[in-house]
Amino acid sequence: MSSGRFLEGVRVFIERFALMPAGARVLVGCSGGLDSTVLLVTLKRLGFAPEAAHINFLLRGDDSDRDEEHVQAFCAAWDTPFHVRRVATALHARSAGVSIQMAARTLRYEAMASLAHECQIGYVAVGHHSEDQAETLLINLFRGAGPEGLAGMPTTRSLGRATLVRPLLRQRRSDIRQFALAEGLSWRDDPSNRDASYLRGALRRHVLPVLTRVMGPGALPNAARSASLMREYVDASFVPASKKMFARAASEPGRLRLQTLTDVAPVWRRRLIIEALRRWIPGAPTSAVDSIILLIDSQPGRRVVLGSGTVWRGRHVLHFTAGAAGMPEGIALLDAKRSVRIHAGTLRLTVLCERPEDLKAEAPMVAYVDGDLVEYPLSVRRWQAGDRMVPLGMQHSKKVSDILTDHKVPVNERKDAHVVLSGHYIVWLIGVRLAEPYRIRKNTRQFARIELSLRADS
């Protein structure tokens, strides 16, 4: 396929599915690999105004930094604005109890949504192509997905206040590579893409070659086409019917009528609960649906506690409660919009884009931490026996009880000491010691300022 035909195919796809208006500013997720590099150049050639967003996952040591440097240099050569975010992927994966791949995916989209909002860009583009779509369909199929899962990746979806678009979704990887070679583009290969220890890597190395050998070279394009056909059905029929039924079932925000859940077929019952979780307890696992269904026939007051909220049975409705109401007792959430009262005063968080002149001037009542590494919202609670943290300037963890002793905090005041946490990791022993992993570094780009105000009228 010639470069001209490739560009025309992408242009027609963008117009057919109304991905974005001509000439629009668009934030392109650019890893430095083949697909995202071609996406960036293609959009620029088609008259859009792309800006590159590189997410450094800090997973491959110097290779991660070289990826970042490559994208920055490429953008300079193509006169394209460059943005970068560094995220502590491994730390997030451990604290959230998820795989590295899942953590990276979550952090990637969160970072791009944040950048799009900061830069006032309405569209975010990623380089998924036809083979990616086929892989997604197969993975969802083997996991027992419903219609939406079998529809694969949509061409567009919301991402924060922006719209996520996939302009290359109908293009084959071979055509993408041919375009890159014809245009003389340079890119970096990530070996983890074929690492069999990851699900997609194992699929690419062990499963897809067998499918192609048995079913022929059209196996993956046909799988992608099936996903596309299912997507058309889902968007035209399934989603509108689901929205109409949900409007009847939701008596008010956060509540589903038990009578409606009882009257509908089981397939719709599951769908209504999945939609309720999606709307009212974002991030809740859909694996909890079966447990929530059991609440329908249980006694009022019974509940299912999730990581990010709680579902409990009322007399006539199921209640879906997110955030602090679903948190264990004694834990409060802290972010730029929510302050927290503790015995000593009020905690407030401010996110800064410029480096503070003096990081220690307001200590110990103010702590500055790396805003790129923390997981919002932060949580605040009293310290507990067994709590450990890595104090600033040290390489190994230490018991909080020992830190309080070292700082000569009176015994009668220690019970009221509080900690600020990112996930399960202590960021700040308030008024006493900052944690080393979250300190401000030379390459920190976003700064979180946490202040303990002692004013009585706080």
> CA-to-CA distance for 121 and 26, rounded, in angstroms?
6
Residue 94 vs residues 16, 207, 254, 288, 324: alpha-carbon distances, Å = 42, 29, 30, 21, 22
For 3-224, CATH gives: 3.40.50.620
- What's the CA gap between 117 and 83, in Å, rounded? 13
In tens, the pLDDT along 238-261 reads: 989 999 999 999 978 889 999 999
Taking the domains of the chain in order of start, what are their residue ranges? 3-224, 254-326, 332-453
pLDDT band at 192, cuts 50/70/90?
confident
Q: What is the per-residue pLDDT across 342-352, written as a single tens digit (0 to 9) for each?
A: 888 899 999 88
Confidence of residue 456 (pLDDT cuts 50, 70, 90): very low
276: tokens are 């309720």
pLDDT digits (tens, 9 = 90+) for 369-393: 998 888 777 889 899 888 899 999 9
Tell me: the pLDDT tens digits for 78-136? 999 999 999 988 888 877 777 888 889 989 999 999 999 999 999 999 999 999 999 99
Residue 297: name the closest of 273, 247, 271, 261 by CA.
261
How far is the C-alpha of 449 from the C-alpha of 371, rounded, in Å? 9
283-294 burial code (b ≥16 CB/10 A, e <16)? ebeeebbeebbe
Residue 27's CB is within 10 A of a number of other CB atoms, namely 25
Q: Which is more confidently placed, 324 or 276?
A: 276
Q: Do domains 254-326 and 332-453 have the same CATH topology?
A: no
Percent residues over pLDDT 90 in the chain:
59
The pLDDT value recorded for residue 396 is 87
- The CATH code belonging to domain 254-326 is 3.30.465
| pLDDT at residue 327, as a whole number | 47
pLDDT band at 329 (very low <50, low <70, confident <90, very high): low
Per-residue pLDDT at 283 exceeds 80:
no
Q: What is the pLDDT of residue 200?
A: 87
What the block records as the tokens of 418 is: 């509080």
DSSP state of 252: B
CATH superfamily of 332-453: Phenylalanyl-trna Synthetase, Chain B, domain 3 (3.50.40.10)
DSSP code per residue over 369-404: EETTTS-SSEEEEE--TT-EE-BTT-SS-EEHHHHH
**Could you tell me the pTM of the whole model?**
0.65
- Cα separation, 242 vs 234, whole angstroms: 10
406: confidence class by pLDDT, cuts 50, 70, 90: very high
pLDDT at 64 over 80: yes
